[in-house]
């Protein structure tokens, strides 16, 4: 007679939750000098023209570095040398025209060329550790240097165009 083998207990593998797909924020249109993209998922990339960028990406530039990005709504952001900027949120709803973009300027400068006027429920926001600037339809430069408590609010926003074409609101 043949004996049946005893059933062995098999440990169940833990169920892995699927990670949501990264949200595409736009594309690199130009990169110069030493710069890199620290991806939210971990890998680090050297920015190249045509490369996709995603929400959560942080752009870091050295003394000779500069990165230009076209966001999904057609606006541009230019990360200046010696800067760190994270794309925190980008949503563009083609059906309703609603657009919401939020950047976190960790250090240095970022220039934003906002494609169309932002008003009502549409927002284009650049925040620093000490202030938040809301941009409405303009060519706008924001800068922040850690430790510059007195100068941060004075230098957080500099208009390139003159009112009424430019509008910014600084909130505490």
Dump pLDDT digits (tens) for 115-167. Answer: 665 555 777 788 877 665 655 556 667 777 776 553 333 333 333 333 333 33
Instruction: Please state, in angstroms and rounded to a whole number, the distance separating the CA atoms of residues 39 and 26.
Output: 14
**Residue 169: predicted pLDDT:** 38
The pLDDT value recorded for residue 99 is 82
Instruction: Name the residue with higher pLDDT: 2 or 60.
Output: 60
Through-space distance between the first and last CA atoms of the chain, rounded to whole angstroms: 84
Rounded-to-integer distance, Cα 94 and Cα 168, Å: 25
Residue 65: alpha-carbon gap to chain centroid: 17
Q: Does the predicted model carry a pTM greater than 0.95?
A: no
Instruction: Inform me whether the pLDDT recorded for 43 exceeds 90.
Output: no
Asked if 55 and 87 count as a contact pair (C-beta separation under 8 A), the reply is yes
């Amino acid at each position: 007679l043949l004996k049946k083998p005893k059933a062995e207990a098999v440990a169940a593998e833990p169920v892995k939750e699927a990670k949501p797909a990264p949200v595409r924020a736009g594309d690199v249109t130009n990169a110069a000098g030493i710069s890199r993209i620290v991806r939210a998922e971990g890998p680090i990339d050297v920015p190249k023209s045509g490369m996709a960028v995603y929400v959560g990406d942080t752009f870091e530039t050295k003394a000779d570095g500069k990165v230009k990005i076209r966001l999904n709504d057609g606006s541009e952001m230019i990360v200046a040398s010696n800067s760190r900027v994270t794309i925190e949120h980008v949503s563009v709803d083609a059906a309703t025209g609603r657009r919401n973009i939020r950047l976190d300027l960790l250090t240095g400068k970022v220039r934003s060329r906002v494609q169309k006027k932002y008003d009502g429920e549409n927002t284009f926001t650049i925040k620093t550790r000490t202030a938040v600037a809301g941009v409405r339809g303009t060519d706008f430069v924001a800068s922040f240097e850690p430790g510059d408590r007195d100068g941060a609010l004075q230098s957080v926003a500099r208009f390139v165009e003159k009112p009424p074409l430019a509008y910014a609101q600084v909130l505490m």
